[in-house]
Amino acid sequence: MVAFPAGRRRPAQQQGVHDAELARRAGAALVAADERIHGTADELGFAEAQLGPQSITQATEALDAARRHLGDAFRLHRLNHEAIPGAADEIRARYERILQLCDSIDRELDEQLGVLAERIALARRAPELIAGLCADAERLRARLPRARATIERLAARYAPDALADVEADVADAAQLLAFAEHSLGVAERSREGGQRDQVALALEASAESMSRAATLLDAVETFEVDALRAESLLAALVVESRRDLAAALAEPHGHAAGRGVASAIAELRAALAALPTAGVNTDPFAHLRRLREAHAALETAVAAARDHAAHPVPSMTQVRRAIEAADRRLDVARDLVAAHPGCIGVEALTRLAESERLRIDLSHALGSSAAPTVAVTDPDDRSQMLAMAQRVASRASEALELARRDLDASRSPDRLRPRRLPSASQGDAALLS
């Protein structure tokens, strides 16, 4: 009798358990989805009574789609229970599709019922919400005269350009408040007429309009404080700008950087001269903005001039001389290495190769390898050319120093003295030791 290991049947047994569990889950999902659809139909009837037929149109469409999905799921379930249901993979795929359809039914109905629940709650609270919004409208209506009085008081101190925005805010707030009150009337009439689906829309429009009106009135009331703060900052900035202007005039600047400083000084002087005298209506925000920009430009120009003075741009003569000096140093290193073949070490040869590579890069950057023909006009380019020439000379100097060290080592007395061979007695003693 042949014994088969039990472990070989384990995968098939596990797959059978999995398929049985999948079938059980699909059957339970079908029952739950069917019950959910019947329950949703009852809830939609209640929502229709509360909100009206138009408010549940989208939910009704979702319910119809759920019924179609449930029909497809039951059809797949019947196929799996026919006399010849098909291959195991086909049966498994049908059960998985049933689970997907039932899950989509739950998600869609949950979304629609959640929206309806919010609308029903809003409809039930409509009297309370209408009363609250009416109270808010009265409070906003009482703020309009104070806002107009604030504008009149500010007009005696500030220029019309400074008040253009807040003057428009008062008129816009009054218009928004009128629209909000009209929406409240629509909501009240719709509630009394049983048009509950219109109540929510009217209340939402009224609340949004009141919120915008309140924001505009807040801006009018805070304008005066903001203007006073701007005047205080402007006075402090005037003192600081005059001090920095005097310092910039007393500090010498080079010709190239001095042009930027002179332009910034002229702009700052113009901004200071544009400030009105005492007792004249002004726009503190505009003057503060212009003075800040001019002061910042002067600070930037002075900083650039100081940096230019600390790191002066090399002249064309300096660039040419640096290139010529680098070429001379490189030629000396080349000649020394060429004159003593086999005596120069790897380190010196590496430094020489680096110097030659840098010189090639410098020639490419210049467009010519001859120093007298260099014609670099941009200050940044001249600084870059000078730095490259200095690196060429530095690597060549290192190569020259290392090459001389190698030559000195090759000429040392220890290397020139012939090596003495040990005597026979010394060799015997060495072997014995």
425 inside domain: no
376 inside domain: yes
Token pair in block for residue 42: 């009852």
The reported pLDDT for the residue numbered 238 is 92
Does the structure show a pLDDT above 90 at 128? no
Are both 52 and 62 inside the same structural domain? yes
The reported pLDDT for the residue numbered 132 is 85
Are both 245 and 306 inside the same structural domain? yes
DSSP symbol at 1: -
Report CA 266 to chain centroid distance, whole Å.
37
8 inside domain: no
Mean pLDDT of 301-326: 81
DSSP symbol at 84: S
Are both 119 and 130 inside the same structural domain? no
For every residue of 85-154, DSSP letters joined together read ---HHHHHHHHHHHHHHHHHHHHHHHHHHHHHHHHHHHHHTHHHHHHHHHHHHHHHHHHHHHHHHHHHHH
The model's confidence at residue 282, banded by pLDDT at 50, 70 and 90, is: confident
The reported pLDDT for the residue numbered 427 is 40
pTM above 0.85, yes or no: no
Range of the domain at 257: 231-310
- In the chain, the percentage of residues whose pLDDT exceeds 70 is 81
Are both 101 and 30 inside the same structural domain? yes
Least confident of 47-61, 337-351, 392-406, 410-424: 410-424
Between residues 182 and 19, which one has the greater pLDDT? 182
Mean pLDDT of the chain: 80
Are both 119 and 131 inside the same structural domain? no
Are both 119 and 139 inside the same structural domain? no
352 inside domain: yes
Q: Can you give the three-state secondary structure of 343-391, one letter per residue?
A: CCCHHHHHHHHHHHHHHHHHHHHHCCCCHHHCCCCCHHHHHHHHHHHHH
The model's confidence at residue 13, banded by pLDDT at 50, 70 and 90, is: low
> Residue 86: left if φ>0, alpha if ψ -120 to 50, beta else—which one?
left
- In the chain, the percentage of residues whose pLDDT exceeds 90 is 16
Does the structure show a pLDDT above 50 at 120? yes
Which residues lie across from 282 on neighbouring strands? 158
4 inside domain: no
Residue where a domain stops, chosen among 190, 223, 256: 223
CB-side neighbour CA atoms (13 Å) of 417:
6
| Tens digit of each residue's pLDDT (9 = 90 or more) over 210-240 | 999 999 999 888 888 888 898 899 989 999 9
Residue where a domain stops, chosen among 259, 276, 310: 310
| Tens digit of each residue's pLDDT (9 = 90 or more) over 363-372 | 887 775 454 4
Does the structure show a pLDDT above 50 at 7? no
Token pair in block for residue 236: 């402090």
Choose among 202, 27, 8: nearest CA to 102: 27
Give the separation between CA 139 and CA 144, rounded to whole angstroms: 9
Are both 58 and 111 inside the same structural domain? yes
Highest mean pLDDT out of 132-136, 248-252, 276-280: 132-136
Cα distances (angstroms) measured from residue 114 to each of 13, 62, 110, 157, 184: 44, 13, 6, 55, 26
The model's confidence at residue 419, banded by pLDDT at 50, 70 and 90, is: very low
Are both 351 and 300 inside the same structural domain? no
418 inside domain: no
Are both 189 and 245 inside the same structural domain? no
Residue where a domain stops, chosen among 197, 223, 249: 223
Mean pLDDT of 97-123: 81
Phi and psi for 5 in degrees, rounded to 5?
A: -65, 140
Are both 291 and 376 inside the same structural domain? no
Does the structure show a pLDDT above 60 at 316? yes
Question: Helix (H, G, I), strand (E, B), or coil: what is residue 323?
Answer: helix
Q: Which amino acid is at 320?
A: R
The reported pLDDT for the residue numbered 52 is 65
Are both 137 and 103 inside the same structural domain? no
197 inside domain: yes
Does the structure show a pLDDT above 90 at 296? yes
Does the structure show a pLDDT above 70 at 5? no
| Tens digit of each residue's pLDDT (9 = 90 or more) over 145-176 | 998 888 888 888 888 888 887 888 888 999 99
Q: What's the number of domains the chain is made of?
A: 4
> What size, in residues, is the chain?
433
432 inside domain: no
The reported pLDDT for the residue numbered 428 is 38
The model's confidence at residue 418, banded by pLDDT at 50, 70 and 90, is: very low
Choose among 128, 124, 95, 107: nearest CA to 22: 95
Are both 106 and 196 inside the same structural domain? no
